[in-house]
Amino acid sequence: MFMVIAYDIADSKRLNRIAKIMEDYGTRVQYSVFEVYADRHVLKQLMVRVMMVMNTEEDSVRIYSLCKDCEGKLEILGDPVYSFEQADVIVY
């Protein structure tokens, strides 16, 4: 499944650790935003790793799963970073 993951981490040390974890799973498209293709098992691994680093009282991580129809309707304005790994995704 295709996901957009965004985060806001209060501490710079945790921020760097979270960013390195995210780089293991997806492509950075904005400073604190990644696009990730993963099945549920891999997503769970990612979430466990992130939870081990983040402070749930200060930090926020949001995971948006996009359906196939939504993937095809993605619009990018400006200089796009292409992270699509599946040939059936269409970017308008």
Got the DSSP string for 24-71?
TTEEEEETTEEEEE--HHHHHHHHHHHHHHS-TTT-EEEEEEE-HHHH
- Would 91 be classed as within a structural domain? no
Number of folded domains that form the chain:
1
List per-residue pLDDT tens for the chain, 92 residues long.
899 999 999 999 999 999 999 999 999 999 999 999 999 999 999 999 999 999 999 999 999 998 877 777 777 777 766 555 544 444 44
* Domain assignment of residue 16, given as a range: 2-72
- Spell out the residues 6+ positions from residue 75 whose beta carbon is closer than 8 angstroms to its own: 91, 92
Residue 19 located in a structural domain: yes
Residue 17 domain flag: yes
Q: Is residue 89 part of a domain?
A: no
Q: Is residue 59 part of a domain?
A: yes
Q: Kindly report the pTM of this predicted structure.
A: 0.81
Q: Domain of 49: which CATH number? A: 3.30.70.240
Tokens of 49: 């790793």
